[in-house]
Chain A
Amino acid sequence: MDALAVKSFKALGDPTRQQILALLAEQDMTIGQVVDHFDMTRAGVKKHMKLLEVGQLITVKAEGRERINSLNREGFKSIMQWIAYFDQFWDDKLDALASLVEQEEQK
């Protein structure tokens, strides 16, 4: 995991940006379309989108005069690995707990 992953996490750690990602998970959008979903200035939304782009959670592609924002599914890989580590961590611990309780309480 690298510095990019830190940026990905930073990008993910905000409710507005999470909402933006949820919107883009459904369909690609221009900034204007995203702005329509928020009670926020265009500049405010743009700032959030920039962080998402830096964290590589979204990609921006020029189409004519429009800039189309899409969810970058690849960008979630490092985050998923991090989550997967703790998923395994807790599976191991809780298995150990269940076995222990079974042993101890049957004595």
Chain B
Amino acid sequence: MNTSEIIKTVFLPVSAKVAWGYLTEADKLAKWFHPPQQDLADGQDYALLGTDSGDKMCWGKVLKMDPYHALSYSFAIKPFPDMDTEVHWTLDEIEGGTRITMRHTGLENVGAQSFGLSMALDKGWDGHFAKLRDI
């Protein structure tokens, strides 16, 4: 059974070195994800901030940095602050570019508080989803 893991791949027409920059450097992350306060660094906590609000949107700790090959960090997002999941990126240089594989694991470790909060707000799950999509 593997219901608690998401795997995605994306092809980027650039070298692994360039692709790595998009996954780890603050100014590049800002353009497709959310801006962190600084570049990701091995063993360090990170937080990605909302562009307008400045609130923490996603956060965790960098677990592994193997430059141009592999990057892992723990991962929680604002609506589910105590979720305990991990995101693993691998970069494979192939002809004409780099294949990036993203694996989001541990989705069963959602954290009870998250649900407590959503219940307190008395929102249906669908409503909650709609709000999340606006982030």
Contact = CB atoms under 8 A, between A and B. Distances in A.
A91 B8 contact: yes
Q: How large is the interface on A (under 10, 10 to 19, 20 to 34, 35 or more residues)?
A: 35 or more
Interface string B3-16: 11010101111100
Interface in A69-106: 76, 78-83, 85-91, 93-94, 96-102, 104-105
Interface residues of B: mostly helix, strand, loop or mixed? mixed
Q: How large is the interface on B (under 10, 10 to 19, 20 to 34, 35 or more residues)?
A: 20 to 34
A94 B118 CA distance: 27
B41 interface: no
17 contacts: A9-B109, A9-B110, A13-B108, A79-B4, A82-B107, A83-B3, A83-B6, A86-B104, A93-B32, A94-B100, A94-B102, A97-B12, A97-B22, A98-B10, A98-B12, A99-B32, A101-B22
Given A9-B108, A81-B129, A91-B8, A21 B13 contact: no
Contact of A88 (B14, B108, B133): B133
Nearest to A84: B129
Nearest to A20: B1
Which of B13, B32, B128 counts the most chain A CB atoms within 10 A? Answer: B32
B110 A82 contact: yes
A5 interface: yes
Interface string B99-135: 0101010011110100100110000010011001100
A76 B6 CA distance: 16
B125 A78 contact: yes
B19 interface: yes
B129 A96 contact: no
A88 B3 CA distance: 15
Interface in B9-51: 10-14, 18-19, 22, 28, 31-33
